[in-house]
Amino acid sequence: MKYDYLVVGAGLFGATFANLAKSAGKKVLVIDKRPNIAGNVYTENIEGINVHKYGAHIFHTDYKDVWDYVNSFVEFNRYTNSPVARIGNEIYNMPFNMNTFSKIWNDVFTPEDALKHIEEEKKEITGEPKNLEEQAISLVGRTIYEKLIKGYTEKQWNRDCSELPSFIIKRLPVRLTYDNNYFNDKYQGVPIGGYTKLVENMLKGIEVRLNTDFFDNREDYMKMANKIIYTGAIDEYYDYSLGKLEYRSLRFDTKIYDKVNYQGNAVINYTGHEVDYTRVIEHKHFEFDTTSPKTVVTYEYPSDYKEGMEKYYTVNDDKNNKLADEYRKLSKKEENIIFGGRLAEYKYYDMDDVIKSAMDRFKGES
């Protein structure tokens, strides 16, 4: 065997595993079918601005070891995500906090006032919330659900909120303070110079082949290394033999404007059906750039997944989770293959969880 490990996918799972293996003296080959490293966190410099090509990414974590690890490759800035939500001509702060509540209900001045409204509105939900709609109403009441959650979620998932699992909305904090920080984690930021630089540094000294699809030469690749780290889609690995898992895709429409400041914030969520996009990203604000003469803006349109598109989101409802479990059973029987990351584990993972999981899988190797 020429390599100890063949890593399929140069995203964060693959890059972390490859980096740890290389540091432990192993011989590693990384392949990726895309023309670039970094998977979905890839950033490209356009007009001097680091553009998040596969969707906006903000690093946030509670794991000190993960934070120290990523900071050992690149310095992070102090960016704190505070998206603004727009519905029609109204603007609200996100996540749901006292700024949001006092604008939604004009008699709210204290946390107690806000709680009174939420308690009253959530009375319609009795027992454990059974789906995203019930979960949302029991967290923030129907008024906010209808203005800031229902439309966004329907556009994002192309399903009724009553047919979606409640865990999706549990990611968002609800606070009785005037704190617009979207995340509760202790550490947060964006790599100075972009995520591509982070992954480039993780892969330093490792052989990487781009534009290389594992499935074009599967038999040969299987013979090249003692172990395969596979970070592509698990159903594809098994040739969809048990059926196809569902995914959601996205379409990004990126524009360059001759303007210093287009929207005044990195992220604006469009929570209503008056536009088809869910988010508008102005990339320069991730790095506090308020002076360069141009700006790069991306409109994010959710889309059904079709052959040839990127699989951005797994659809973790009961039906798909059951099928993924069947695939997982098959994958557990493989002795020389580690399935890791968002697509191979069919999990709605954040970046830090993906890195943590790769660290744990590598620890399991020794």
Question: Active-site positions?
Answer: 171, 175, 248, 279, 300, 348, 350
Q: Does 312 bind ligand FAD (CB under 6 A)?
A: yes
Assign residue 307 a region: left if phi > 0, alpha if psi is -120 to 50, beta otherwise?
beta
State which of positions 221-240 bind ligand FAD (CB under 6 A): 231-232
For β-strands 28-31 and 207-209, DSSP reports them as parallel
Which tokens in the block code for residue 39? 């998977």
Q: Does 83 bind ligand FAD (CB under 6 A)?
A: no
User: What character string, x for contact with ligand FAD (CB under 6 A) and - otherwise, covers 248-267?
Assistant: --x-----------------
3-class secondary-structure state, position 200? helix
Which tokens in the block code for residue 21? 């293996």
- Residue range at the interface with ligand UDP (CB under 6 A); choices 42-50, 167-175, 184-192, 202-210: 167-175
Of ligand UDP, ligand FAD, none, which one does residue 156 interact with (CB within 5 to 8 Å by kind)? ligand UDP
Nearer to ligand FAD, 104 or 206 (CB): 206
Q: Does 194 bind ligand FAD (CB under 6 A)?
A: no
State which of positions 59-88 bind ligand UDP (CB under 6 A): 85
Contacts of 13 (CB under 8 A, 6+ apart): 229, 231, 340, 341, 342, 344, 354, 355, 357, 358
What is the nearest approach in angstroms of ligand UDP to the Cβ of residue 2?
38
Of ligand FAD, ligand UDP, none, which one does residue 41 interact with (CB within 5 to 8 Å by kind)? ligand FAD
Q: Identify the residue among 156, 212, 261, 321 touching ligand UDP (CB under 6 A).
A: 156
Nearer to ligand FAD, 209 or 259 (CB): 209
Q: Does 58 bind ligand UDP (CB under 6 A)?
A: no
Nearer to ligand UDP, 170 or 328 (CB): 170
Residue 14: which of 27, 26, 32, 2 has the closest Cα?
Answer: 32
Q: Does 169 bind ligand FAD (CB under 6 A)?
A: no
For the CA atoms of 233, 133, 88, 171, what is the dihedral angle to 10 degrees?
Answer: -50
DSSP string across 96-120? BSHHHHHHHSTT--SHHHHHHHHHH
Residue 83 CB neighbour total at 10 angstroms: 20
Give CA 33 to chain center in angstroms. Answer: 20
Q: Does 169 bind ligand UDP (CB under 6 A)?
A: yes
Contacts of 94 (CB under 8 A, 6+ apart): 82, 83, 84, 85, 100, 148, 172, 180, 182, 269
The Cα–Cα gap between 40 and 25 comes to: 27
Q: Does 172 bind ligand UDP (CB under 6 A)?
A: yes
What is the nearest approach in angstroms of ligand UDP to the Cβ of residue 153?
4
Look up residue 265 and give its amino acid. Answer: N
Per CB under 6 A, residues contacting ligand FAD are 8-14, 31-34, 39-41, 55, 57-58, 213-215, 231-232, 250, 312-313, 341-343, 349-352, 354
Per CB under 6 A, residues contacting ligand UDP are 85, 94, 148-149, 152-153, 156, 168-169, 171-172, 269, 271
